[in-house]
Amino acid sequence: MARSAVGVIFTNIQDKNIPELSSRRTMASIPFAGRYRLIDFALSNLVNAGITTVGIVTQKNYQSLIDHLGSGKDWDLARKDGGIILLPPYSNETDAPYKNRLEALMGITGFLQRRTEDYVVLYDGDGVSRLDIADVVRYHEETHADITLVYRKTDSVESHYYITLDPDDTGRINSLQINPKLDNKKDINLYINVMVVQREYLMGLIQNAVQSGFSSFGRDILAKHVGSMRIFGYRFDGYYAGITSLSRYFKYSMEMLDKDIRDELFGARDIYTKVRDSAPSKYIAGAVVKNSLISDGCIIEGTVENSILFRGVKVGKGSVIRNSVLMQETVIGSSVQMDCVITDKNVVIRDRRHLSGCEELPYFIAKGKML
C-alpha cells in the first residue's frame, strides 16, 4: 500500500493531441469505453494503491470534469483528510493561468507543502491502463530514486510532446530525450506520463526552477540534470492506451471489444466512475447486437455491430451502426446507416442519414450537433 503517497493528476497537459475531443473539456474528462472518463483510470489506479489524497490540477474548460468528480465519493475520495482536492489555476503575478507543467507545479506548491506524505505521484490523465501504482512506489523506495519515470516499450509514437528514456541494466536513466526523431526506430522506451518523486525533493526542484527562471520541467529539469539526479525507469508491460489523437482514440476504443484487454482492465471490477442511476439497457424485439459494448440506459431497436455505446444512447428501428463510438445520450433516428463514426455527447442523427468515415479518419461529430 502506498499510504505515504499523494496523487496529482494533470488534466489538461496533453490537450493539444486531440483537439476534437478536448476543445470543450479537459483531456482527463474525455469519455472512454462506454461509461468512463480517462481520469477514472488514473483515479482508480491511485485509489487501488491505497492513496487517499489526489490533487486535480486544472487549467481551463474544467466544468465537465468538476461535474464528473462531484465530491469524489464514487472513487471513495470524499474524505475528511484529503480526498479529491481541486487545484484550479492560481496566479497573483501574471494574469494568465499556467502554460506548462512547471508553472502548474509552481501553482500548487501550497498544496504540496501542506501534505505530509513522503511521495508524490504525478499522473497525466491521458492514458488508459491498470497500472499498479503501489508497485511503482515500492520500486521507487527500493531504488532510492529521486524520480521514477514509468515507461513502456513501443514501436511507434504519435504525440506532440514525448520523452524517450535510456535505462541501464539497473533501471537507472542516464539519458533521456524530448521529442527525438524516431525514423522507424523499434523498441522505444516511451515515458507514459506517470512519475513518482519524493515530495520534499519535488518542492526543492520547483523552488530551484523558480530561482533559475526555468520554463520547462522536461527540458530544464529532467533532460538537463538527468546525470546528477537519481532517475529510474519503471517498465510497465500491461495494456496501455495513450490517447494521443482521434484516430488512436478510435483504435483504442475498438480494442475494448477484445476480451483479453477488457478482462485485464475491468476483470477485477475496480475501475470506478461516476454513478448516474441509469436504467439497465433495453434490447427491443428485432434488435441485433454483435461484438459490441453497451452501457446502461441504452434503448436499441436497430442493428449495432463492432461498436461502443455510451450511456443513454438510442438506436432507432432499421438503423445499422457499424464500427462506431456513440457517446452519452446520442440519439440515432430510424433507417440511419453509420460506419466508422464517432459522435460526441448529445448528438442527434435524423432518420435516413448515411454517414461514414474510415478507420484512419473516423467521421467525428461534435458535441450537441444535429444532423
Partner 1 sequence: MQRKKECVAMLLAGGQGSRLYALTNNIAKPAVAFGAKYRIIDFPLSNCINSGIDTVGVLTQYEPLELNEYIGNGQPWDLDRTFGGVHILSPYQAKKKSSWYEGTANAIFQNMGFMKKYNPDYVLILSGDHIYKMNYAKMLQAHISTGADCTIAAIEVPLSEASRFGILNINPDGSIYQFEEKPKAPKSNLASMGIYIFTAEKLYKYLQEDDNDPNSSKDFGKDVLPAMLNAGEKMYSYLFEGYWKDVGTIPALWESNMDLLGADPLFDVADPSWKIHSRNPLAPPEYISETGEVDNSMIALGCEIYGQVTNSVLSSNVIVEEGAVVEDSVIMSGTVIKKGAKVLYSVIDENVIVGEGAVIGENKENAKGITVLGRNMHVSADAVVESGKIIDKDYKGE
Residue at grid coordinates 483531456: 27
Phi, psi for residue 300 in degrees, rounded to 5: -115, 120
The site for partner 1 (CB under 8 A) is made up of: 33-35, 73, 257, 259, 262, 265-266, 269-272, 275-297, 299, 301, 308-309
* Bridge partners, 153 (sequence order): 189
Distance CA 281, CA 256 (A): 19
User: Which CB, 50 or 70, lies closer to partner 1?
Assistant: 70
The burial of 115, by beta-carbon neighbours within 10 Å (0-12 exposed, 13-18 middle, 19 or more buried), is given as middle
How many angstroms from the chain centroid is the CA of residue 261?
17
* DSSP, res 216: -
User: Which CB, 64 or 307, lies closer to partner 1?
Assistant: 307
Closest CA to 119 of 76, 148, 143: 148
User: Which CB, 206 or 327, lies closer to partner 1?
Assistant: 327
The answer to whether 170 touches 139, Cβ cutoff 8 Å, is no
Least Å distance, CB 128 to partner 1, is 12
User: Which CB, 288 or 361, lies closer to partner 1?
Assistant: 288
User: Which CB, 144 or 259, lies closer to partner 1?
Assistant: 259
Least Å distance, CB 43 to partner 1, is 13
Least Å distance, CB 256 to partner 1, is 8
Least Å distance, CB 31 to partner 1, is 12
Distance CA 30, CA 38 (A): 6
Angle formed at CA 256 by CA 255 and CA 257, multiple of 5 degrees: 85
The answer to whether 307 touches 292, Cβ cutoff 8 Å, is yes
Least Å distance, CB 76 to partner 1, is 11
User: Which CB, 283 or 363, lies closer to partner 1?
Assistant: 283
Q: What is the DSSP string of 73-88?
A: GGGT---SSSEEEEE-
User: Which CB, 275 or 358, lies closer to partner 1?
Assistant: 275
Cell of 126: 491521458
Least Å distance, CB 285 to partner 1, is 4
The answer to whether 28 touches 11, Cβ cutoff 8 Å, is yes
User: Which CB, 35 or 140, lies closer to partner 1?
Assistant: 35
Q: What is the 3-state secondary structure (H, E, C) of 306-335?
A: CCEECCCCEECCCCEEECCEECCCCEECCC
Least Å distance, CB 356 to partner 1, is 21
Collect all residues with Cβ–Cβ distance below 8 Å to 137 and sequence separation of at least 6. 2, 4, 5, 49, 119, 121, 196
User: Which CB, 176 or 289, lies closer to partner 1?
Assistant: 289
Least Å distance, CB 279 to partner 1, is 4
User: Which CB, 168 or 263, lies closer to partner 1?
Assistant: 263
Phi, psi for residue 260 in degrees, rounded to 5: -65, -40
Q: What is the DSSP string of 150-209?
A: EEEEES----SS-EEEEE-TTSBEEEEEES---TT--SEEEEEEEEEEEHHHHHHHHHHH
Least Å distance, CB 283 to partner 1, is 4
Least Å distance, CB 217 to partner 1, is 34
